[in-house]
């Protein structure tokens, strides 16, 4: 289907389809009829990239976009003449400038890699060798290809560290990878790629593993160096909103084939392919119709003044390494609470404490007005049944040796004593409930897709007929289209079964789409909480404001606008991760806060107050002060 919908015609006719900036430039990269095959477990080869052709002009950034299994990384790697273990470039050709990459010998390829084409991997933490210093690894390509002496390369590396806005550009090279934060490592990986002034840089999902507030910093740094050096880029991502900020053209891939190629503006504003449209729709989740709240006198779950952490207890009863600090909230029967915050903020720990997997140091968890014992060992079978948990990694949560029916039968027998034909019938009902075919009952997890596995996990939680399901990043490991379907299922189950959710996520868009109430955690503390409507209105806590401003929007130029706003916040570099930065007295967000009051915010713990809009905010500043920040 190639006809754009009528409403999208207007912008299409005005905007030129191809960018004029590169009209005359000769292509640097030409990929023609590329075919890559992988070898399956049975030894037979099957195609993973099917007849893909595209080109990248000098100075242009082209994005390869698609979901997992679309072949985007495989295509990018084949531009370096590289195929991962078990894969093979089976046909077509790749040309880089005057060089036929697909015809090169292994030593010819080694000559090309790191010098003419450089690669920035998705997980910098994994791409850095843990046992060598950062500097040794950043300048390694220059030494391998003899483009500079060690001293020259180190000088150049420091200049790149400065250009990438890394703190302490002179000292960071002497450190080891584990001593540096994820966002910094990702920028250091960019320095490593640029050290030899390559003609082409491949960015492979370079910000996917980062928190949104860190992602925005890294994106800005990448964009600046790419612009300043006129670097040609191939940007691999699943995130259209991110790609819209950096790419000139977009190649949309699915199942190893190209669905659509076009200028960034055209792809996001007037996509011609159905699949592109579904990608865009899934990336902008619409609020799901919420079930009307049943007014009940007492909340289903009430958590008061909850503190938890690791290590022994201090004299005042707090753990040495606190993860949660005096968190309190309520979940009404049949409603959904979204818990949001960046990695390390304690959101998963909160789920573990509520589930009884980890005892609290202080505070109480009350279910239906009855206090719950702190650990699983102390809870009755009925207590356990009423609270179920669904984890992020569907793969690891299911025993690979057990069939689906066995995984679902276990809680049915354990909690409800079902056996025989009744048990089998209930397993089928559960599969119906999560919209999976009954034929799946005999399959092992290894034969299921990621989305199917997550539905099985959900079915297993539902088997207990719980009152509350703790969903810990349940859609984070899924592709956007699959994740959207799982979200729809969650909403539907809540409507039909009246179950409540505590929905933990790092993704503000998702939380806004399905939650009635939202709680923002920062460094183990509640900084803001309220109903979805109240949370959408200013005033906001400065951190909630930063979080909102950092979520990429699917429009070109967002990064520049949001960037200006995020610049109000002090570089998030390293100051907020880990227990030791957890400021017990004073506000945890003080080091990053543009409104921080020295002498107050760093000394006194901010009080929790209720705004006129009805949300709770933990901040020393007045509503008017907070409004001025949002307006900036």
Partner 1 sequence: MNAGMSRLLLTRLATAAGTLLFVAAAVFVTTTMLPGDVAQEILGQSATPEAVAALRHGLGLDRPPVERFLSWLGGLLVGDPGLSLVNGVPVATLIGGRLSNSLLLAAVTAAVSVPLALLLGVSSAMLRGSIYDRVVGTATIFVVSVPEFLVASLAVLVFAVKLRWLPALAQAPQGHGLLDLMRSFAMPIVTLTFVIVAQMARMTRAAVIDTLAAPYVEMARLKGAGPIRIVLTHALPNAIGPIANAVALSLSFLLGGVIIVETIFNYPGIAKLMVDGVATRDLPVVQACALIFCAGYLLLVMLADIAAILSNPRLRHR
Quote the least distance from Cβ 330 to partner 1, whole Å: 41
For partner 1, give the closer residue by CB, 84 or 320. Answer: 84
Least distance (Å) between residue 311 CB and partner 1: 15
Contact residues toward partner 1 (CB under 8 A) are 77, 80, 82, 84-85, 110-115, 118-119, 121, 123, 126-132, 140-141, 144-145, 175-176, 178-179, 192
Copy the structure tokens of residue 462.
């539902």
Element spanning 618, H or E: strand 616-618
Q: For partner 1, which is the closer residue by CB, 125 or 481?
A: 125
Q: Can you list the alpha helix ranges (DSSP code H) found in 139-206?
A: 140-144, 150-163, 182-194
Which are the contacts of 80, defined by CB distance < 8 A and separation ≥ 6?
101, 109, 112, 113, 117, 119, 202
Pick 80 or 527: Cβ nearer partner 1: 80
Distance CA 574, CA 357 (A): 30
Considering the complex, what minimum distance in angstroms separates the CB of residue 483 from partner 1? 25
- Please report how close the Cβ of residue 218 comes to partner 1 at its closest, in angstroms: 18
Which residue, 130 or 437, is less far from partner 1 as judged by CB? 130
Minimum Å gap between C-beta 132 and partner 1 is 7
Q: Which is nearer to partner 1, 191 or 355 (CB)?
A: 191
Q: Which is nearer to partner 1, 80 or 573 (CB)?
A: 80
**In degrees rounded to 5, what are phi and psi of residue 68?**
-65, 140
Whether the Cβ atoms of residue 345 and residue 288 lie closer than 8 Å to each other:
no
Exposure b/e, 247-274, CB count within 10 A at least 16 = b: bbbbbbbbebebbbbbbbbbbbbbbbbe
Q: How far is the CB of 127 from partner 1 (least distance, A)?
A: 4
Starting at the edge strand that comes first in sequence, how are the strands of the sheet with 319-331 ordered?
Answer: 319-331, 301-313, 362-367, 370-371
| Choice between 122 and 510, CB closer to partner 1 | 122
Work out how close the CB of 141 gets to partner 1 at its nearest, in angstroms, rounded to a whole number. 4
Residues paired with residue 251 on neighbouring β-strands, in sequence order:
64, 261
Q: Token digits for 298?
A: 């007492």
Residue whose CB is less far from partner 1, 62 or 124: 124
Question: Which of 119/275 has CB closer to partner 1?
Answer: 119
Shortest distance (Å) from residue 110 CB to partner 1: 5
**Token code pair at residue 86:** 């078990």
Between helix 182-194 and helix 150-163 the angle, nearest 10°, is 130
SS3 state of residue 89: strand
Closer to partner 1 by Cβ: residue 145 or 416: 145
Based on CB atoms, which residue is closest to partner 1, 136 or 280? 136
Query: In the complex, what is the shortest distance from the CB of residue 114 to partner 1, in angstroms, rounded to a whole number?
Result: 4
Q: Crossing angle, helix 150-163 and helix 212-229, to 10 degrees?
A: 120
Smallest gap from Cβ 125 to partner 1, in A, equals 9
Residue 130 Cβ, how far from partner 1 at the closest point, in Å? 6
Instruction: Provide the minimum distance between the beta carbon of 113 and partner 1 in the complex, in angstroms, as a whole number.
Output: 4
Q: How far is the CB of 73 from partner 1 (least distance, A)?
A: 11
Distance (Å, rounded) from C-alpha 417 to C-alpha 124?
48
Residue 327 β-bridge partners: 306
Q: In what order do the strands lie in the sheet with 200-204?
A: 117-120, 200-204, 232-237, 61-65, 249-254, 257-263
Q: In whole angstroms, what is the distance from residue 152 CA to residue 238 CA?
A: 37
User: How many whole angstroms separate alpha carbon 240 and alpha carbon 277?
Assistant: 11
**Which is nearer to partner 1, 141 or 245 (by Cβ)?**
141
Nearer to partner 1, 126 or 298 (CB): 126
- Helices (DSSP H) in 444-522: which residue ranges? 450-463, 480-497, 508-514
The token pair that represents 102 in the structure block: 């697909």
CB of 186 to partner 1, least distance (A): 13
> What pairing do the DSSP bridges indicate for beta strands 500-505 and 468-472?
parallel
Determine the Cα–Cα distance for residues 301 and 529; give it in Å rounded to an integer: 16
Q: Is the Cβ–Cβ distance between 489 and 405 less than 8 Å? A: no
Grouping H, G, I as helix, E, B as strand and the rest as coil, residue 309 is: strand
Task: List beta partners, residue 62.
Answer: 234, 249
Nearer to partner 1, 123 or 600 (CB): 123
């Amino acid at each position: 289907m190639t006809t754009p919908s009528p409403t999208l015609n207007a912008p299409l006719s005005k905007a030129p389809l191809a960018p004029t900036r590169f009209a005359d430039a000769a292509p640097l990269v030409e990929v023609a009829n590329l075919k890559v095959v992988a070898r399956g477990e049975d030894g037979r080869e099957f195609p993973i990239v099917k007849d893909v052709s595209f080109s990248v002009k000098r100075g242009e950034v082209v994005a390869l976009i698609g979901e997992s299994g679309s072949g985007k990384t495989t295509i990018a790697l084949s531009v370096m003449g590289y195929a991962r273990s078990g894969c093979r470039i089976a046909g077509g050709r790749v040309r880089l400038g005057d060089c036929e990459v697909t015809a090169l010998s292994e030593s010819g390829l080694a000559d090309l890699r790191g010098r003419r084409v450089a690669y920035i991997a998705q997980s910098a933490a994994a791409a850095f060798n843990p046992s060598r210093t950062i500097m040794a690894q950043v300048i390694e390509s220059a030494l391998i290809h003899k483009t500079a002496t060690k001293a020259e390369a180190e000088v150049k590396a420091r200049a790149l560290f400065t250009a990438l806005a890394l703190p302490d550009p002179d000292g960071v090279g002497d450190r080891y990878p584990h001593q540096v934060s994820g966002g910094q490592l990702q920028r250091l990986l960019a320095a490593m790629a640029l050290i030899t002034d390559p003609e082409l840089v491949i960015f492979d999902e370079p910000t996917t593993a980062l928190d949104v507030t860190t992602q925005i910093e890294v994106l800005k740094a990448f964009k600046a160096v790419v612009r300043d050096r006129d670097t040609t880029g191939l940007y691999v991502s699943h995130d259209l909103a991110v790609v819209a900020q950096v790419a000139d053209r977009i190649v949309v891939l699915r199942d190893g084939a190209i669905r659509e190629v076009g200028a960034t503006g055209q792809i996001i504003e007037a996509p011609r392919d159905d699949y592109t449209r579904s990608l865009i729709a899934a990336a902008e989740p619409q609020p799901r119709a919420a079930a009307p709240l049943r007014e009940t006198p007492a909340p289903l779950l009430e958590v008061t003044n909850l503190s938890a952490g690791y290590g022994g207890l201090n004299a005042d009863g707090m753990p040495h390494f606190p993860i949660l600090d005096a968190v309190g909230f309520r979940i009404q029967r049949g409603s959904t609470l979204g818990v949001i915050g960046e990695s390390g903020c304690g959101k998963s720990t909160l789920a573990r404490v509520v589930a009884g997997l980890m005892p609290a140091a202080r505070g109480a968890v009350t279910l239906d007005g009855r206090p719950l014992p702190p650990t699983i060992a102390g809870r009755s079978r009925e207590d356990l049944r009423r609270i179920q948990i669904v984890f992020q990694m569907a793969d690891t949560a299911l025993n690979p040796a057990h069939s689906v029916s066995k995984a679902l039968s276990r809680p049915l027998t354990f909690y409800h004593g079902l056996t025989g034909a009744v048990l089998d019938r209930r397993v089928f009902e559960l599969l119906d409930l999560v919209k999976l075919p009954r034929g799946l009952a005999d399959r092992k997890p290894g034969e299921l897709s990621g989305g199917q596995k997550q539905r099985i996990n959900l079915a297993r939680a539902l088997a207990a007929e719980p009152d509350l399901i703790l969903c810990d990043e349940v859609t984070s490991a899924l592709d956007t289209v699959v994740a959207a379907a799982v979200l729809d299922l969650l909403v539907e189950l809540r409507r039909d079964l009246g179950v409540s959710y505590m929905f933990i996520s790092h993704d503000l868009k998702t939380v806004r789409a399905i939650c009635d109430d939202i709680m923002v955690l920062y460094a183990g503390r509640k900084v803001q909480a309220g109903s979805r409507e109240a949370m959408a209105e200013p005033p906001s806590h400065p951190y909630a404001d930063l979080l909102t401003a950092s979520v990429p929007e699917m429009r070109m130029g967002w990064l520049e606008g949001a960037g200006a706003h995020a610049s109000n916040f002090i570089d998030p570099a390293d100051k907020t991760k880990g227990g030791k930065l957890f400021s017990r007295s004073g506000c945890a967000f003080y080091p990053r806060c543009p409104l921080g009051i020295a002498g107050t915010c760093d000394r006194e713990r901010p009080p929790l107050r209720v705004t006129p809009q009805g949300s709770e905010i933990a901040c020393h500043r007045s509503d008017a002060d907070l409004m001025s920040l949002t307006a900036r």
